[in-house]
Structure 1
Amino acid sequence: MAVGAAPSDHGHELAGKPLSGEEIFHLLARRTTDGSYPPGTRLRDHRLAVEFGVSRTSVREAMQRLQCVWGWSRCIRTASQR
C-alpha cells in the first residue's frame, strides 16, 4: 500500500490479519466523509469493533485520533462528551 493510502473495506477477513490502528483510522475517516455514516449516525465502539474484528480500544483510539488530528470534535463525539 502506498504511503498515505487508505485501506480497502474488503479482504481483511480473507487475508487473515486484523486491521491495524492506522487502517481503522483511515476506514472511519473515509466512511465518515463519503456518506457511509450520515450526519447524526451513532458510531458505537463495540459494534465497530465486532465489524472490524478488533478491540474496542483500537476503535476508540482511531476515533480520538480523528477528533484530534482532523479537528473533528464536532463530527465525532465520545460518550464522555454528551
Structure 2
Amino acid sequence: MLMANPATLRNLVKRYETARNAHARLGTSESSRTLEDVSYTLCVTTGTRTVPDALVVAAAQLRTLTSAGSLGPASVPSEVQLTA
C-alpha cells in the first residue's frame, strides 16, 4: 500500500480541519469550494472515497509511522484532531 509523506498527510489533515471550521463559520461559496478541494485531495492522498474514511486512514498511517519509530512523538501534533 502506498503511504503519503507524513508531513504532507499531517498538513492535509490540518488544512481540512481549518477549511471545515471556516466553512461552518462563514458558509460562503468560497469556503465551500476550499473545503471541497482539500477534501478531494485528502481522499486521493489516502486512496479513499469519503472524508471519514480518509481521516481514519490518515490516523492509522500516522499512528503506524509513530509506533514504528519513523517519527518522534513530537512529530505528530496533538492539536490535529481527525474528525469528519
TM exceeds 0.5?
A: no
TM-score (norm 1): 0.39
Which has the greater radius of gyration? 2
Q: Which has the higher contact order (CA 8 A, sep 6+)?
A: 2
Which one has a larger percent helix, Structure 1 or Structure 2? 2
TM-score (norm 2): 0.38
